[in-house]
Amino acid sequence: MAYQHIQIPTSGEKIKVNQDMSLDVPDHPIIPFIEGDGIGVDITPVMKDVTDAAVAKAYGGRKKIAWMEVYCGEKAADKYEGDWFPAETLEAIKEYIVGIKGPLTTPVGGGFRSLNVALRQEMDLYVCQRPVRWFTGVPSPVKEPDKTNMVIFRENSEDIYAGIEYKAGTPEASKVIDFLTGEMGVTKIRFPENCGIGIKPVSEEGTKRLVRKAIQYTIDQDLPSLTLVHKGNIMKFTEGAFCDWGYELAREEFGAQPIDGGPWCSMKNPNTGKEIIVKDVIADAMLQQVLLRPAEYSVIATLNLNGDYLSDALAAQVGGIGIAPGANLSDEVALFEATHGTAPKYAGQDKVNPGSLILSAEMMLRHLGWGEAADLIVKAMEGAIGAKTVTYDFERLMDDAELKSCSEFGAEMIKHMG
Ligand SMILES: NC(=O)C1=CN([C@@H]2O[C@H](COP(=O)(O)OP(=O)(O)OC[C@H]3O[C@@H](n4cnc5c(N)ncnc54)[C@H](OP(=O)(O)O)[C@@H]3O)[C@@H](O)[C@H]2O)C=CC1
Ligand SMILES: O=C(O)CCC(=O)C(=O)O
Ligand SMILES: [Mg+2]
């Protein structure tokens, strides 16, 4: 396909999806990337350099990524005459199957809706997978950060992120409130005259496809438990249903058996024969459980908003969102991105930690089947942190650390690839 502003690299080839949904990855895959707003300009080039160095070292030049810049956010608005979300960006990511993005700004309280959420919804990237692990030497506010080792599977297509909201005082809000009070017998809208309204869709299909991926991951990685996190005591037909449908799926598709009458249940890992416990925890309790008893949690499946909160909270336990990676996945397309945002106060200062985006690239390399290069990124991260050559976020919490800029940290990582 010909694009208006996207330059297709002449040196690379497309990744293809095989019939069994596995990837057919050429040695020079074209990978679309969005630089991102704010600190995107700092972290994205460093991520590319570190990734290129790991691939070059792992495969002696035989494999190489052909990066292809695609545009979204402020850079897109400049290039496409005010269009923040060009259609060809979506087309390119779908066509090239695997991509990576920097953070994009979303205004609070008004203005346009999140471009990050729009990318996920438009491509039906229904899984947001965010691993949380500690790297030796990273400063952490908890005593035993090594006990935090979890992977969040956040439902990425439903919940209040659907963006069905009506502003207080508008005819739309009045119409919804009139319907609820007039036709549905609702009496508990406390101040109906000036009240914003938001809708929270949560479906059986949306829940089950997310929980299915989370359980499959638990099996593939031979992990001990899957925890459904929800606020089902209060939101019974959305969050409570998420929990019920999650258990139902575990029982019906994975043969899980109730423990002591349920709802917790137990299943056997079909590959290893080990037991997997499927359990649930209410979201507020979970936020204290992960701090006090992190070793008891492994894979977490949760709704969109809970997953958003939990991702940043868990990231803090292992050193902060400077080092928290992620992936947005459909059955075909994968778009990798850091957990953090655009940190506008640091934009363009070559200051912030590029670790989250680099570790997102590490996830991307594993997704491509390039595990040797991914391992080198982990080794490089451990090396640079072990040598105490770190960016401001770690340096301010460590004794005797050497402060490095964003790009210097990337260079340190490359040195530690060996
Ligand atoms: N997926 C995405 O693209 C996301 C986009 N956003 C958007 O980003 C914008 C800013 O959001 P905001 O709430 O400020 O959250 P941010 O995640 O952008 O930043 C909050 C704080 O986190 C720390 N931080 C973030 N990134 C890094 C990094 N790479 N290295 C070290 N520290 C880091 C900084 O802490 P300190 O000040 O302590 O140094 C920063 O001030 C909003 O428009 C929001 O909508 C938010 C989240 C995700
Ligand atoms: O889209 C945004 O601006 C914020 C998204 C976010 O916080 C997240 O995905 O973790
Ligand atoms: Mg978030």
Annotation says 147 is catalytic:
no
Is 345 marked as a binding-site residue? yes
d(CA 219, CA 415): 36
Is the minimum distance from the CB of 102 to ligand 1 under 6 angstroms? no
Ligand in nearest proximity to the CA of 128: 2
Is 251 marked as a binding-site residue? no
- Which residues have C-beta within 8 Å of that of residue 28, sequence separation ≥ 6? 11, 12, 13, 63, 64, 65, 66
Q: Dig out the tokens for 23 from the structure.
A: 């990837």
CB 34 within 8 A of CB 86: no
Annotation says 161 is catalytic:
yes
d(CA 217, CA 153): 10
CB 208 within 8 A of CB 249: yes
Q: Rg for the chain (alpha carbons), in Å?
A: 22
The SS3 assignment for 411 reads helix
d(CA 193, CA 174): 8
76's enclosing H/E stretch is helix 74-79
Beta bridge partners of 275: 268
Annotation says 308 is catalytic:
yes
Is the minimum distance from the CB of 317 to ligand 2 under 6 angstroms? no
Residue with CA nearest ligand 1 atom 20: 343
User: Residue 381's closest CA among 50, 142, 130?
Assistant: 50
Beta bridge partners of 331: none
Ligand in nearest proximity to the CA of 323: 1
d(CA 404, CA 315): 21
Is the minimum distance from the CB of 339 to ligand 2 under 6 angstroms? yes
How buried is residue 3: exposed, middle or buried, by Cβ count under 10 Å (0-12/13-18/19+)?
Answer: middle
The pair phi, psi for residue 219, each rounded to 5°, is -65, -50
Distance 60 CA to ligand 1 centre (A): 36
The SS3 assignment for 196 reads coil
Q: Which is catalytic among the residues 75, 231, 351, 404?
A: 231
The residue type of 71 is Y
Annotation says 16 is catalytic:
no
Q: Dig out the tokens for 91 from the structure.
A: 């087309």
Is 130 marked as a binding-site residue? yes
Distance 338 CA to ligand 1 centre (A): 10
Sign for the pseudo-dihedral over CA of 373, 375, 376, 382: positive
Residue with CA nearest ligand 1 atom 8: 341
Is the minimum distance from the CB of 360 to ligand 1 under 6 angstroms? no
pLDDT tens track of the chain, all 418 residues? 789 999 999 999 999 999 999 999 999 999 999 999 999 999 999 999 999 999 999 999 999 999 999 999 999 999 999 999 999 999 999 999 999 999 999 987 777 889 999 999 999 999 999 999 999 999 999 999 999 999 999 999 999 999 999 999 999 999 999 999 999 999 999 999 999 999 999 999 999 999 999 999 999 999 999 999 999 999 999 999 999 999 999 999 999 999 999 999 999 999 999 999 999 999 999 999 999 999 999 999 999 999 999 999 999 999 999 999 999 999 999 999 999 999 999 999 999 999 999 999 999 999 999 999 999 999 999 999 999 999 999 999 999 999 999 999 999 999 999 8
Beta bridge partners of 300: 152, 227
* Ligand 1, atom nearest to 340 Cα: 17
Distance 259 CA to ligand 3 centre (A): 34
Write the DSSP string, 205-226: HHHHHHHHHHHHHHHHTT-SEE
Distance 104 CA to ligand 2 centre (A): 8
ipTM value greater than 0.85: yes
Give 6's DSSP letter.
P
pLDDT of residue 112: 83
Is 209 marked as a binding-site residue? no
Q: How many CB atoms lie within 10 A of CB 255?
A: 12
Residue appearing with tokens 């203005």: 111
Q: Which is catalytic among the residues 78, 220, 284, 331?
A: 284
Q: How many residues does the chain have?
A: 418
Distance 102 CA to ligand 1 centre (A): 11
Alpha helical stretches, state H, 107-240: 115-122, 171-178, 204-220
The pair phi, psi for residue 30, each rounded to 5°, is -85, 125
Is 113 marked as a binding-site residue? no
How buried is residue 249: exposed, middle or buried, by Cβ count under 10 Å (0-12/13-18/19+)?
Answer: buried
Ligand in nearest proximity to the CA of 341: 1
